[in-house]
């Protein structure tokens, strides 16, 4: 090989390295706006299903009227207990460990999907509540709001319950989805929520179970440790070491 050819090969190699470095920098600077994030958000079924419940409940509640102090009390109580409910659902339903009872393996769609979500946190469709599971969740919500609550109180308060539940559901889906996009946190509050959930996925799945808040139910139930004091879990991407 001549000196000229060697020099040419060296220049080509150097150029390829520079291009690779530039591409890595571009990927590192990749950002998502709220507008583009919302455009993707509305392409998934769960936001529409929850929104349908919310809109129908608002229309029915306004039509019936008869507002009272309980219509303020219901949202206050529901918002206060939501982080705890979120923690319990995450721990006992989403992180359900498959169990064998004789020849039958007890597992759920929500748990299976959540394991897939942990395996690939950047797979956006897996971020959302599966629509088949959501049908059952919404049916249960309607039974509570239109049957159980009226038995104890009134249909008006039952509809208020459904409105707040719909709002909380949309907030949960949007927050969880946004955390798993490349949207860069702009506020201190959202940055704390973003970091909290990232720790759950990328450091240790046994901690940081709340999604829409940070340091609330996790702090109360002692799953909010100092991240630097927690070892990286080998099963964060393979919950319970169960094959997908």
Kindly indicate the confidence band of residue 29, based on its pLDDT and cuts at 50, 70 and 90: very low
List pLDDT tens digits, range 42-62.
999 999 999 999 999 999 999
> If you compute the radius of gyration of the chain from its CA atoms, what whole number of angstroms results?
23
**pLDDT for res 18:** 55
In the prediction, which pLDDT does 23 show? 45
Rounded to an integer, the average pLDDT of 52-80 is: 95
**Cβ neighbours around 74 below 10 Å, total:** 21
Taking CA atoms, 208 is separated from 53, 133, 183, 192, 232, in Å, by 29, 24, 20, 11, 13
Contact 40, 130 (CB under 8 A): no
CA dist 83 and 3 (Å) reads 69
How many angstroms separate the CA atoms of 156 and 68, rounded?
Answer: 9
228 and 207 Cβ atoms separated by less than 8 Å: no
CA 215/CA 193 separation, integer angstroms: 9
pTM, 2 dp: 0.84
Q: Is pLDDT of 87 > 80?
A: yes
pLDDT band at 4 (very low <50, low <70, confident <90, very high): very low
Return the pLDDT at 26.
40
How confident is the model over 91-109, as a mean pLDDT? 91
Could you give the count of Cα atoms lying within 13 Å of 226 in the half-sphere of its Cβ? 2
In tens, the pLDDT along 186-242 reads 999 999 999 999 999 999 999 999 999 999 999 999 999 999 999 999 999 988 877
Query: What's residue 114's pLDDT?
Result: 97
**pLDDT of 80 higher than 60:** yes
């Amino acid at each position: 090989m001549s000196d000229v050819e060697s020099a040419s090969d060296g220049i080509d190699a150097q150029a390829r390295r520079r291009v690779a470095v530039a591409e890595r920098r571009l990927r590192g600077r990749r950002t998502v706006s709220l507008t583009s994030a919302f455009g993707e958000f509305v392409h998934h079924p769960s936001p529409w299903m929850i929104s349908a419940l919310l809109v129908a409940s608002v229309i029915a509640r306004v039509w019936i009227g008869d507002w009272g102090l309980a219509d303020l009390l219901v949202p206050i109580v529901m918002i206060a207990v939501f982080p705890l409910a979120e923690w319990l659902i995450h721990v006992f339903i989403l992180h359900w460990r498959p169990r064998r009872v004789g020849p039958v393996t007890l597992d759920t769609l929500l748990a299976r999907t959540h394991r897939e979500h942990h395996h690939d946190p950047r797979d956006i469709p897996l971020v959302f509540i599966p629509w088949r599971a959501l049908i059952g969740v919404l049916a249960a919500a309607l039974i509570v709001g239109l049957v159980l609550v009226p038995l104890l109180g009134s249909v008006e308060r039952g509809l208020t319950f459904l409105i707040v539940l719909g709002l909380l559901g949309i907030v949960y889906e949007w927050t969880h989805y946004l955390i798993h996009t490349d949207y860069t946190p702009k506020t201190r509050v959202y940055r704390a929520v973003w970091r909290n959930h990232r720790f759950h996925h990328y450091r240790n799945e046994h901690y940081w179970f709340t999604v829409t808040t940070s340091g609330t139910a996790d702090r109360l139930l002692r799953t909010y440790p100092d991240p630097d004091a927690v070892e990286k879990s080998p099963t964060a991407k393979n919950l319970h070491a169960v094959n997908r």
